[in-house]
Chain A
Amino acid sequence: MDALTLSIRVAVLATAVNALVGVPLAYVLARRRFTGKALLDLAVTLPLVLPPTVTGYYLIVLLGRRGWLGAPLYAATGWTIAFTWYAAVVAATVMALPLLVRTARAAIESVDRDLEKAAYTLGRSEWRTALEVTLPLARNGILAGLVLAFARALGEFGATLMLAGNIPGKTATVPLAIYTAVQTGEQSTVIALVAILTVLSCVVLVIAGRLGARAA
Chain B
Amino acid sequence: MSARLDVRLVKRLPGFTLDVAWSAGDGVAVLFGPSGAGKTLTLQCLAGLLRADEGRIVVDGRVLFDADARGALVDVPPQARRVGYVFQGYALFPHLSVADNVGFGLRDLPAARRADKTAQVLARLGLAEHADRLPRELSGGQRQRVALGRALAIDPALLLLDEPLSALDAPLRRALRDELRQLLSDLGTAAVLVTHDFTEAYRLGDRIVVYDAGRVVQSAPRSELLWQPASDSVARIMGIRNVLRGTVVKATPDRIQIRWRGQLLEAVNSPSRSYLPAADTPIAFFIRPEYVRLIRKDRGSADPTHHMNLMDGVVVGEEDFGTTWSLRIRLSVPGAPAQGEYDLEVEVPHLVYEILEIERDRRWQFSIHRGSIHVLPA
Q: Answer yes or no: are A and B bound together in one complex.
A: yes
Interface residue ranges, A against B (CB under 8 Å): 112, 114-115, 117-125, 133, 136-137
- B94 contacts A137, C-beta separation under 8 Å: yes
B197 to chain A, nearest CB (A): 21
In the complex, the chain B residue whose C-beta lies closest to that of A119 is B104
Once A117-B49, A117-B85 are accepted as A-B contacts, the answer to whether A122 and B105 lie under 8 Å apart by CB is yes
Contact of A133 among B44, B49, B93, B105 (CB under 8 A): B93
Give complex CA distance A123, B78 in Å.
7
In the complex, the chain A residue whose C-beta lies closest to that of B86 is A118
A51 to chain B, nearest CB (A): 41
Interface of A is mostly: helix
Once A121-B49, A137-B94 are accepted as A-B contacts, the answer to whether A114 and B89 lie under 8 Å apart by CB is yes
Give complex CA distance A114, B48 in Å.
13
In the complex, the chain A residue whose C-beta lies closest to that of B88 is A114
Once A125-B79, A133-B93, A137-B95 are accepted as A-B contacts, the answer to whether A118 and B87 lie under 8 Å apart by CB is yes
A190 to chain B, nearest CB (A): 47
- B154 contacts A117, C-beta separation under 8 Å: no
A89 to chain B, nearest CB (A): 33
Within 8 A of A (CB), among B116-170: 150-151, 154
B81 at the interface (CB under 8 A from A): yes
Which 6 residue pairs across A and B have the least CB separation, nearest first?
A: A122-B105, A114-B91, A120-B78, A121-B85, A118-B91, A114-B87
Within 8 A of A (CB), among B59-115: 77-81, 83-85, 87-89, 91, 93-95, 104-105, 107-108
Give complex CA distance A117, B162 in Å.
13
Contact of A124 among B44, B79, B81 (CB under 8 A): B79
Give complex CA distance A119, B78 in Å.
9
Give complex CA distance A119, B77 in Å.
12
Interface residue ranges, B against A (CB under 8 Å): 44, 47-49, 77-81, 83-85, 87-89, 91, 93-95, 104-105, 107-108, 150-151, 154
Using Cβ atoms and an 8 Å threshold, which residues of chain B touch A119? Answer: 93, 104
Using Cβ atoms and an 8 Å threshold, which residues of chain B touch A124? Answer: 79, 104, 107
B43 to chain A, nearest CB (A): 10
Using Cβ atoms and an 8 Å threshold, which residues of chain B touch A123? Answer: 79-80, 105, 107-108, 154
Using Cβ atoms and an 8 Å threshold, which residues of chain A touch B105? Answer: 121-123
- B91 contacts A115, C-beta separation under 8 Å: yes
Using Cβ atoms and an 8 Å threshold, which residues of chain B touch A112? Answer: 91
22 pairs from A and B in contact (CB 8 Å cutoff): A112-B91, A114-B88, A114-B89, A115-B93, A117-B49, A117-B85, A117-B87, A118-B91, A118-B93, A121-B48, A121-B49, A121-B83, A121-B84, A121-B151, A122-B104, A123-B80, A124-B104, A125-B79, A133-B93, A136-B95, A137-B94, A137-B95
- A121 contacts B78, C-beta separation under 8 Å: yes
A214 to chain B, nearest CB (A): 13
For the complex with contacts A121-B81, A133-B93, A137-B95, 9 further pairs of A-B residues with Cβ separation under 8 Å are: A112-B91, A114-B91, A117-B49, A118-B87, A121-B48, A121-B85, A123-B154, A124-B79, A137-B94
A45 to chain B, nearest CB (A): 28
Using Cβ atoms and an 8 Å threshold, which residues of chain A touch B81? Answer: 121
Using Cβ atoms and an 8 Å threshold, which residues of chain A touch B44? Answer: 117
- B79 contacts A118, C-beta separation under 8 Å: no
Give complex CA distance A124, B77 in Å.
11
Using Cβ atoms and an 8 Å threshold, which residues of chain A touch B93? Answer: 115, 118-119, 133
In the complex, the chain B residue whose C-beta lies closest to that of A118 is B91
Using Cβ atoms and an 8 Å threshold, which residues of chain A touch B94? Answer: 137
- B47 contacts A121, C-beta separation under 8 Å: yes
Contact of B154 among A114, A122, A133, A136 (CB under 8 A): A122
In the complex, the chain B residue whose C-beta lies closest to that of A117 is B49
In the complex, the chain B residue whose C-beta lies closest to that of A113 is B91
In the complex, the chain B residue whose C-beta lies closest to that of A122 is B105
A43 to chain B, nearest CB (A): 29
Give complex CA distance A118, B151 in Å.
9
Give complex CA distance A133, B87 in Å.
16
Using Cβ atoms and an 8 Å threshold, which residues of chain B touch A136? Answer: 95
Give complex CA distance A70, B204 in Å.
68
In the complex, the chain B residue whose C-beta lies closest to that of A125 is B79
Give complex CA distance A123, B48 in Å.
12
Using Cβ atoms and an 8 Å threshold, which residues of chain B touch A115? Answer: 91, 93
Give complex CA distance A118, B135 in Å.
15
B172 to chain A, nearest CB (A): 22
In the complex, the chain B residue whose C-beta lies closest to that of A114 is B91
B30 to chain A, nearest CB (A): 20
